[in-house]
Amino acid sequence: MTGDPAAFHRTLPGYAPTRLAELPALARRGRAARLFAKDESNRFGLPAFKALGASWAMHRAVQRHGGGGPTTIVTATDGNHGRAVARFAREFGRRARVYVPAGVPAAAVAAIRAEGAEVVAVGGDYDRAVRTAAADPDGLLVQDTAWDGYEEIPGWIVEGYSTLFTELDEQLAAAGAGPPDLLVVPTGVGSLLQAALTHYGRPTRIVSVEPDTAACVKASVEAGRPVTVSTDATIMAGLNCGTVSTLAWPLIRDRLDGCVTVSDAQARAAMADLAAEGVAAGPCGAAALAALAQLPAKGDVVLLITEGAAANPVALDRAQDRA
């Protein structure tokens, strides 16, 4: 690694560690000694953790080109990554072109445009949007998943996510806790999961959670090799991915302790439960709590609440209707 992502992030306007909330009532229900939520609902003013990876990767790319290079940053997104790329492309004096698959909430698309990006709608799923972005001849691709021949920039994105875990370690220590006994990670292509597996060794157990309509990690683990799965609509739009990142796969294969899937209904219920405890999670983040009911959770548990409710206001409205 060239440089320190956490030190870099501290130089950016608006940086502050996201909060770590302790949830004693939900800990009792989830059979945990202590339950913490790393709440990524406000990261650089954006409603998800993705800014950590996008900013570091673009910083490294600009360094690589000596401040020059392509003037347009290209990416595909199912929501939060594209908005983060658009925000930091502007900060670095670049334009952004963001390819968006079907099923991304209209509010998320509008938020990407509000950051100054050109948004290109792609019929089909996330994997198709990624292929379309990768074929764009006019810009620098900053994508948060890797495949054969495209791994350097996704690797930088994963490095950027390490800041989250640096903060988490400091916050747990301040709360009188050590490394978590169990870490639950909402998972799409597996890049955040890769960062978690890189940061934590034994005895921390790490479990992924995916939508039951888009479980590429679970399918790959069961097959013993990366497989692509067909996906269907889900309110967990940021996890609606059909192919695991090639960079993430070796760590997932060798180190992941478990894979869980949850339904939209379970994610909505978890959103309502978290909201009652003062954590305004979006459905992707709430998936971590939804998974806890399926796990033999003992000791200290950390849920990565990867997005806030503002990332998907329609899902929040439905969760509030349920509450």
Distance CA 104, CA 124 (A): 11
What's the angle, vertex CA 136, arms to CA 131 and CA 140, rounded to 5? 105
Count Cβ atoms below 10 Å from residue 50 Cβ, excluding itself: 32
- 67 vs 64: CA distance, rounded Å: 8
Residue 122 backbone zone (phi > 0: left; psi -120 to 50: alpha; other: beta): beta
- Encoded amino acid at 219, one letter: A
Distance CA 129, CA 31 (A): 40
CB contact set of 61 (below 8 Å; sequence gap of 6+): 69, 140, 142, 153, 156
Task: Locate 199 and state its tokens.
Answer: 């940061």
| Alpha-carbon span 192 to 150, nearest angstrom | 17
d(CA 113, CA 287): 27
CB 204 within 8 A of CB 196: no
Distance CA 262, CA 239 (A): 11
Catalytic residues: 50, 78
